[in-house]
Amino acid sequence: MKRAALVIGLTGNIGCGKSTVGAILQSFGAAYLDADAIVHRLLAPGTPTAARVVAQFDGRITRPDGSIDRRALGAIVFNDPAALQTLEQIVHPAVLDEVHARIAHSEHEVLVVDAVKLIESGLADEVDSLWVVTCPRQLQLERLMRDRGLSAEEANARIDAQPPQEERARRADVVIHNAGTREELVARVTEAYQQTRAAWRARCQENRS
- How confident is residue 198, by pLDDT bands cut at 50, 70 and 90? very high
Rounded-to-integer distance, Cα 111 and Cα 180, Å? 26
Judged on CB neighbours under 10 Å (0-12, 13-18, 19+), 152 is exposed
Residue 82 has pLDDT above 90, yes or no: yes
Residue 133 has pLDDT above 70, yes or no: yes
Q: Supply the pLDDT for residue 71.
A: 87
Judged on CB neighbours under 10 Å (0-12, 13-18, 19+), 9 is buried
Give the domain ranges of the chain. 6-208
pLDDT digits (tens, 9 = 90+) for 16-50: 999 999 999 999 999 999 999 999 999 999 899 99
Residues 6+ away with beta carbon under 8 Å from 105: none
The strand pairing partners of 112, in sequence order, are 8, 32
pLDDT digits (tens, 9 = 90+) for 137-155: 999 999 999 999 999 999 9
- How confident is residue 1, by pLDDT bands cut at 50, 70 and 90? very low
* CATH code of the domain made up of 6-208: 3.40.50.300
**Other CB atoms within 10 A of residue 80 CB:** 14
Reported as type and span, the H/E element at residue 58 is: none
DSSP string, 12-51: E-TTS-HHHHHHHHHHTT-EEEEHHHHHHHHTSTT-HHHH
Q: What is the mean pLDDT of residues 71-91?
A: 91
- How confident is residue 3, by pLDDT bands cut at 50, 70 and 90? low
Q: What is the mean pLDDT of residues 188-195?
A: 98
Q: Supply the pLDDT for residue 106.
A: 83
Rounded-to-integer distance, Cα 191 and Cα 209, Å? 27
Q: Supply the pLDDT for residue 2.
A: 45
Look over the chain and give the mean of its residue pLDDT values, rounded to a whole number: 92
- Let me know: does 21 contact 175? Beta carbons within 8 Å: no
